[in-house]
Amino acid sequence: MIHNHLLSAAKQVPSDNQNERPTDVISLVVIHNISLPPNIFNNDYIEQFFTNQLDFDIHPYFQTIRNQQVSAHLLIKRDGKILQFVPFNKRAWHAGESNFLGCDNCNDFSIGIELEGADNIIYEKIQYQVLNNTISLLKKHYPITAVVGHNEIAPGRKTDPGDAFDWSKIDEHK
């Protein structure tokens, strides 16, 4: 269920990397992937990064993201657990420079869902199940018209969710 723009099935991990949306219309879901360090799973580094608590000296890769402030609405871990960083009615900082059907700044009107994963590593079956259930719930609460990959709204700049992501397993991809 969704109550007060929060997903009841998700662990709430509030991020300051958010702000007000310029509109109340939420019409897009953007699918991403993330792993920190790249291709390494099952740690708390993503959560620490999205909440500005990551120790950038732990791993050399972290130096490359040191000055970034990002978030997503949701993260679906490899085991299917869901974390929510930003309420759906707020603008999470997930899409960056982006365009969908002639509309710039997709953060303004989208919900960002990160999957713990990498472009070329197969996603877990449970991640697809949780993602489909979540998208279905979101569509019942918001006027969502499309589900796209980050690569579709930022072509040439982003590649996620990557070649390993099987769009045929997503019920709502348009």
pLDDT in tens, 56-98: 999 999 999 999 999 999 999 999 999 999 999 999 999 999 9
| CB-based burial label for 12 (10 Å; 0-12, 13-18, 19+) | exposed
How far, in Å, CA of 81 to CA of 56, rounded? 25
Establish if 78 belongs to a structural domain.
yes
Establish if 82 belongs to a structural domain.
yes
Query: β-strands 28-34, 146-149: how paired?
Result: parallel
**Residue 38 is part of which domain span?**
2-169
Establish if 174 belongs to a structural domain.
no
**What is residue 24's three-state secondary structure?**
coil
CATH of the domain at 35: 3.40.80.10
Q: Check pLDDT > 60 for residue 174.
A: no
pLDDT more than 70, % of the chain: 98
Number of domains the chain contains = 1
Bridge partners (DSSP) of residue 112 are 30
Establish if 68 belongs to a structural domain.
yes
Known catalytic residues are 114
How far, in Å, CA of 57 to CA of 66, rounded? 9
Establish if 161 belongs to a structural domain.
yes
Q: What pLDDT shows up at residue 171? A: 84
pTM score: 0.97
- Among 27, 43, 36, smallest CA distance to 60 is for 36
* Residue 96 Rama label (left phi>0; alpha psi -120 to 50; beta): left
